[in-house]
Amino acid sequence: MRNRFDDTNPAKEEEEYVQSIIDNVKWLGFDWEDRLFFASDYFDQMYEYAIQLIKAGKAYVDDLPADQITEFRGTLTQPGKNSPYRDRSIEENLNLFQRMKTGEFPDGQKVLRAKIDMAHPNLNMRDPVMYRILHASHHRTGDRWCIYPMYDWAHGLEDSIERITHSICTLEFENHRPLYDWFLDALGVYHPQQIEFARLNLTYTVMSKRLLFQLVEEGHVAGWDDPRLPTISGMRRRGYSPSSIRAFCKRIGVAKFNSMVDFEFLEHNIREDLNKTSPRFMGVLRPLKIVIENYSDQQTEELEAVNNPEEPARGTRKIPFSKTLFIEQDDFMENPPKDYYRLTVGREVRLRYAYFIKCLEVIKKDGRPVELRCSYDPATKGGYAPDGRKVKSTIHWVSMSHAVPAEVRLYDRLFTIADPVGQKGMDFKEFLNPQSLEVLRDCRIEPAMKTLKPFERFQFERLGYFCVDPDTTKDNLVLNRTVELRSSWTKLQKQRRKNQEPFNT
């Protein structure tokens, strides 16, 4: 595998972005070894190629300002007009281009353009700009250059110099291919083949760097590594594993036409991978206190819990059990509907890895349950009754005196509709989901989790997959929800097959 950074625009390239890309690609499981390149590696050669085109009468220095270059370019239905500077002599063009290089002219005063055809049906072939003046420091070359190549000029030259066989681009570069070919043919150098494929489009998000930049710069998200963004750094922070991302990409493949991939399918791949590899823990996100009245105040037990049923070799761990516990608020209802099987007054449920308990009394404050008084059956240790009686629900819990406080960030879809960009006349930001992040600051988790490090992934039983956020400190454990436990993808597939609807995978 090889990689090349297009650092032709010093105003957009910063060392932190470059290093972030390198780190993220390595995290994904790839290594360029000694095959890491930069467009700036070839600035000298590109300059010499430009001189070659000028000497061949195929490039000229233009003094038209940017707005007039655009005006003279014409439209899809109208041919362009030649610049009044198009017929400068070769000697004058060489002189002016050299002076551009030495910094004699200010930004924007002159450009170097290819001399092709201002009436060409492809607008990209109407004397495109090859070099512009930009007095800016470059992250690798410093202040050595004040003229910088345009991407269309640089792209093919970089491929040729590196002896690339096939140059892979997204579909929007398909009408740039004739220009790619023209430059290489005009120079008579090694000619790779450019091939275009569709870019990945996911529902409920945006993939364009330009649109992502708006979200970051305008403060709609916390940064490029915000877990709601489809960036590699965002996915890593959210808790996606490298293997799950690779599996997703392998399954969707590449296409020659634009399409939209369901975000649910990405999440399906994440769940499938994390289910096999994630250790299990118990955590209570919205705590409700329960007191087991017939359990001794002085007693504490250590119960055995399975670390990962998918990997028996991971063994078990000990979790403390005591008289006072926390359960989820959602696991109790005072007046439940008919199909509610969790805890209510007079009903027995199983505490995961522990005992059967029965709710005896509800203590309220301002009309809201704040404490449950319960009893337990000592004979049901491990979650099974010797007399064979059954319960219809198992709920998770943590011991109040042993639990560790944590902040949990619940992430959801970034947008409220599947295709926020495809709505005509609407700003995509109008569809941002105001509920895409919910922060819970009074969560309680089992003590074994205190040793987890940033980016470690795990499953909260019954709740979903989570990871430790790098905002974590010694005094504040921060957890991110990666994805909820249940997947709608299998159900969605079956429904679409039943209705004979097309769907993307």
Using alpha carbons only, give the angle 231, 232, 235 rounded to the nearest 5 degrees: 85
pLDDT category of residue 469 using cuts at 50, 70 and 90: very high
Backbone angles phi, psi at 348, to 5 degrees: -105, 135
Q: What's the whole-number mean pLDDT along residues 173-199?
A: 95
pLDDT category of residue 4 using cuts at 50, 70 and 90: confident
Q: What's the whole-number mean pLDDT along residues 172-199?
A: 95
In whole angstroms, give the CA distance from residue 362 to residue 347. 13
Question: pLDDT tens digits, residue range 337-362?
Answer: 999 999 999 999 999 999 999 999 99
**How many other CB atoms are there within 10 angstroms of residue 142's CB atom?**
9
In whole angstroms, give the CA distance from residue 174 to residue 183. 15
Largest Cα span, the chain: 102
Using alpha carbons only, give the angle 32, 34, 36 rounded to the nearest 5 degrees: 60
State the pLDDT at residue 490.
53
Question: pLDDT tens digits, residue range 235-255?
Answer: 999 999 999 999 999 999 988
- Which of 254-258, 430-434, 435-439, 469-473 shows the lowest mean pLDDT across its residues? 254-258
The tokens for 313 are 């070799």
State the pLDDT at residue 503.
41
In whole angstroms, give the CA distance from residue 243 to residue 273. 7
In whole angstroms, give the CA distance from residue 26 to residue 226. 19
State the pLDDT at residue 34.
84
pLDDT at 291 over 50: yes
User: Quick one: 350 exposed, middle or buried, by C-beta within 10 A (0-12, 13-18, 19+)?
Assistant: buried
State the pLDDT at residue 11.
73
Whether the model pTM is above 0.85: yes
Amino acid at 226: D
pLDDT category of residue 258 using cuts at 50, 70 and 90: confident
The more confident residue out of 11 and 498 is: 11
Share of the chain above pLDDT 70, in %: 95
The more confident residue out of 91 and 16 is: 91
Question: pLDDT tens digits, residue range 189-222?
Answer: 999 999 999 989 999 999 998 999 999 999 999 9
In whole angstroms, give the CA distance from residue 234 to residue 258. 24
Question: pLDDT tens digits, residue range 93-112?
Answer: 999 999 999 999 999 999 99
Q: At what angle do helices 177-187 and 43-55 cross, to 10 degrees?
A: 80
In whole angstroms, give the CA distance from residue 287 to residue 500. 44
State the pLDDT at residue 76.
93
Q: What's the whole-number mean pLDDT along residues 455-464?
A: 97
In whole angstroms, give the CA distance from residue 73 to residue 120. 10
The more confident residue out of 292 and 14 is: 292
- For 388-392, the CB contacts below 8 A with 24+ separation are 391/348, 391/349, 391/350, 391/356, 392/341, 392/349
DSSP annotation string for 408-439: EEEE--SBSSS-GGGSTTS-GGGGB-TTSEEE
Using alpha carbons only, give the angle 271, 481, 279 rounded to the nearest 5 degrees: 60
State the pLDDT at residue 16.
75
CA 165 to chain centre: 30
State the pLDDT at residue 17.
79
Judge contact between 63 and 125, C-beta under 8 A: no
State the pLDDT at residue 498.
63
Judge contact between 109 and 90, C-beta under 8 A: no
Q: What's the whole-number mean pLDDT along residues 262-289?
A: 96
pLDDT category of residue 502 using cuts at 50, 70 and 90: very low
The tokens for 98 are 């050299």
Q: Taking Cα atoms as reference points, which of 183, 191, 116, 189 lies closest to residue 150?
A: 183
State the pLDDT at residue 257.
87
User: Quick one: 358 exposed, middle or buried, by C-beta within 10 A (0-12, 13-18, 19+)?
Assistant: middle
State the pLDDT at residue 85.
98
State the pLDDT at residue 421.
93
State the pLDDT at residue 504.
44
In whole angstroms, give the CA distance from residue 249 to residue 361. 53
In whole angstroms, give the CA distance from residue 30 to residue 18. 16
State the pLDDT at residue 159.
95
Residue in this structure with the two tokens 């490039």, named with its chain if needed = 59
Question: pLDDT tens digits, residue range 357-408?
Answer: 999 999 999 999 999 999 999 999 998 999 999 999 999 999 999 999 999 9
State the pLDDT at residue 375.
97
Backbone angles phi, psi at 112, to 5 degrees: -105, 130
State the pLDDT at residue 259.
87
Average pLDDT, the chain: 93
The more confident residue out of 498 and 219 is: 219
